[in-house]
Amino acid sequence: MAEGLLIAVGSDHAGLNLKRAVVKALGERGHEVLDLGTDSAESVDYPDFAHAVAAKVVSGDAPLGVLICGSGIGMSLSANRHPGVRAVVCSDTFSARMARMHNDANVLCMGERVVGEGLALDILDAFLGASFEGGRHARRVGKIEL
């Protein structure tokens, strides 16, 4: 697993508890975290946080991002509006690993209401532990952007 990465992290109110666990785990794994919020259980709009994380990934400030909301879906839809972002919702380790290896995914989205903390951290490890294979996959990833 790559160590010492700067990873941009964000959540809405529905993903706050899991975000806190992810931030802690990333630090324990030797990564620097750019926590872009939210820091409160007050209702907020998930696109605001998805756009903030996506902007950091697109700019190159952070090579990877993690977004958490209730389902992960809204975050992925919002983040994927940014050219160059390949945000995936993952609820299992196989999908997280394949998203990095075959799709060069750069933003992991999870749903706090879908996965528990233990599984979420396993998914995070699978995502961070995999790397893009390139080759035939690079050609396909290149066809994603219009």
- DSSP for the chain reads ---S-EEEEEE-GGGHHHHHHHHHHHHHTT-EEEE----SSS---HHHHHHHHHHHHHHTS-SEEEEEESSSHHHHHHHTTSTT--EEE-SSHHHHHHHHHHH---EEEEETTTS-HHHHHHHHHHHHH-----THHHHHHHTT--
Decide if 67 contacts 107 (C-beta within 8 A). yes
Residue that is written with structure tokens 């409160």 in the block: 40
Measured at the alpha carbon of residue 48, what is the angle toward residues 121 and 129, in degrees to the nearest 5?
A: 25
Active site residues: 69, 102
